[in-house]
Structure 1
């Protein structure tokens, strides 16, 4: 896999295939990987070069074959118009994820109290809108941490 263009070497689909090729010899070449997945060799080249986006079915196939669930998140948050609001998740070590989870859990009680105060009267006043933004930010952080942990579990168990 020498003489690879920079655009290809930095492509997440190419990187996932290369990493998977250490465990599956059929994935070492683009040609044999394409044959194994039963997709056109030129199409796999265009996907790995960033010239075209894969179809959702191809992402599922690659994610499963390469043991790279992060490909699903990448596709959903970058190429799919329905998922562009989803949190982007990076593959991290379990200890780093655990620290982020515990840090986020610290905010839960404060967020719960804030939410109760805001919704007690059934109206969100202008003064409470900033607090509501804080609540949303905490919920988004919790969502991202949850997705990171789910990704780690899918990849490692």
Structure 2
């Protein structure tokens, strides 16, 4: 298999579960390897590897909850509900996590569109009534 094919396969199998473990490894070295992470998740090496490679059609809910907790990644539960759970696919909306910079821009855009002056005047009027 060529180097390009290996890179494509690796990227294709870079699931949200693997990404969450890799992010968690930045703060906790035990998550750098599946062998250590599986103890926190309470699954076998093979199971966790298969979760991360996307080889399971639907992961067990309790494993997803344990991963979300161990990796401090609550977005895993939202992803599971929106993409893997039969009922959740029909009823849940995905939550987008973003950095503080993007969040600040979104807040400013909302404030600009709702007339910051009216909001400011309303707050000042309420404060003067005290």
**TM-score, normalised by the number of residues in structure 2:** 0.68
Tell me which residue corresponds to 1:23: 27
For residue 98 of structure 1, report the CA deviation from its aligned partner.
4.8
Q: Secondary structure at the match of 2:68?
A: helix
Measure the CA separation in 1 of the matches of 2:59 and 2:52.
Answer: 9
Q: Secondary structure at the match of 2:96?
A: coil
Unaligned 5+ residue runs, structure 1?
Answer: 108-157
**Residues 48-87 of structure 1 mapped to structure 2, 5 A cutoff:** 48-52=52-56, 53-84=58-89, 85-87=91-93
**TM-score, normalised by the number of residues in structure 1:** 0.57
Unaligned 5+ residue runs, structure 2?
Answer: 1-6, 115-130
For residue 93 of structure 1, report the CA deviation from its aligned partner.
1.8
Tell me which residue corresponds to 2:125: none
Tell me which residue corresponds to 1:97: 103
Q: 1:35-77 CA distances to partner (integer Å, 9 max, x unpaired)?
A: 2322111110110000113211111111111111110110000
Measure the CA separation in 1 of the matches of 2:44 and 2:15.
Answer: 18
What RMSD in Å do the two structures reach over aligned CA positions?
A: 2.4
Measure the CA separation in 2 of the matches of 1:37 and 1:80.
Answer: 20
Aligned length: 104
Bigger relative CO (Cα 8 Å, ≥ 6 apart): 1
Does residue 13 in structure 1 map to residue 20 in structure 2?
no
In the TM superposition, structure 1's runs of 4+ consecutive aligned residues that sit over 6 Å from their partners are none
